[in-house]
Amino acid sequence: MNKIQFNKITLLLILLSTTVFSQTANFTWTDWAKNGHNGYQNPNIIFPTTEDFTIYSIEKSGSHVYAPKLIYITKHDYNRQVLKDVSFKLPQRQRMDATLIDVIEGDNKLYFFSNIALKKDGKNVLYVQVFDNDSFTISEEKELFTLPIEKVNNSGFFNVEISPDKNTIAVLVNNVFEKKQNEKITTVLFDKDLNEIANSNFTLNFESERAYKEQLYITNDKTVHIVKHTDIFKKEPKTAVITINGTDINTQQVSASEFYISDSKVITVANTNYLIGFATDNVKPGISVGGKKDKSYFLYDITNGNLIRNQGWSDTILKKVLGKGFLDLTIQNVLTQDNNIYLIGECYKSESALKEGASFEYDYTYNIGPGIVVKLDTAGQVKYESYLKYSDTYKNEAKRIASFYPFLNNGKLNLLTTEKEYVLKEKKIVLGNKKIEARAVILNTIDDTGDQTIVPFWDSKVGGEDLIIDFAPTFTKQIDTNNFAIYGYGNLYHAFGKMTLN
25-37 burial: b if 16+ Cβ within 10 Å, else e: bebebbebeebee
pLDDT of residue 286: 43
490 CA to centre of own chain: 21
Comparison of pLDDT for 394 and 379, the residue scoring more: 379
Q: Which residues contact 200 (CB under 8 A, 6 or more apart)?
A: 186, 187, 244, 246, 247
Distance CA 187, CA 175 (A): 11
Does a cis peptide bond (omega within 30 degrees of 0) precede residue 370? yes
Comparison of pLDDT for 207 and 91, the residue scoring more: 91
Q: How many CB atoms lie within 10 A of CB 330?
A: 17
Comparison of pLDDT for 211 and 124, the residue scoring more: 124
pLDDT of residue 41: 86
pLDDT of residue 472: 54
pLDDT of residue 392: 82
pLDDT of residue 211: 54
% of the chain at pLDDT higher than 90? 58
How confident is the model over 386-401, as a mean pLDDT?
A: 78
Distance CA 99, CA 116 (A): 6
pLDDT of residue 15: 36
How confident is the model over 114-139, as a mean pLDDT?
A: 96
DSSP 468: G
pLDDT of residue 397: 64
Evaluate if residue 69 carries a pLDDT over 70: yes
pLDDT of residue 29: 87
At 233-248, the pLDDT tens digits run: 788 899 999 999 999 9
Helix, strand or coil, per DSSP, at residue 276: strand
At 314-325, the pLDDT tens digits run: 999 999 987 778
**What's this model's pTM, rounded to 2 decimal places?**
0.90
Band of residue 201 on the pLDDT scale cut at 50, 70, 90:
very high
Are 118 and 152 a contacting pair, CB within 8 Å? Answer: yes
Distance CA 332, CA 457 (A): 23
Distance CA 125, CA 278 (A): 36
Helix, strand or coil, per DSSP, at residue 7: helix
Dump the DSSP string for 233-263. TSSS-EEEEEEEETTEEEEEE--BTTBEEEE
225 CA to centre of own chain: 19
Distance CA 240, CA 205 (A): 11
Are 208 and 181 a contacting pair, CB within 8 Å? Answer: yes
Task: Specify the range with the lowest mean pLDDT, choosing from 64-68, 422-426, 457-461, 462-466.
Answer: 462-466
Greatest mean pLDDT among 160-174, 395-409, 484-498 lies in 160-174
How confident is the model over 70-80, as a mean pLDDT?
A: 92
How confident is the model over 433-448, as a mean pLDDT?
A: 80
Task: Specify the range with the lowest mean pLDDT, choosing from 3-12, 49-58, 387-396.
Answer: 3-12
Band of residue 359 on the pLDDT scale cut at 50, 70, 90:
confident
pLDDT of residue 4: 40
What mean pLDDT value characterizes the chain? 86
Distance CA 227, CA 325 (A): 24
Phi, psi dihedrals of residue 152, rounded to the nearest 5°: -70, -35
Evaluate if residue 268 carries a pLDDT over 60: yes
Are 451 and 466 a contacting pair, CB within 8 Å? Answer: no
Distance CA 176, CA 153 (A): 10
Give the residue extent of every domain in the chain: 1-40+401-502, 254-397
Distance CA 229, CA 241 (A): 9
Evaluate if residue 66 carries a pLDDT over 90: no
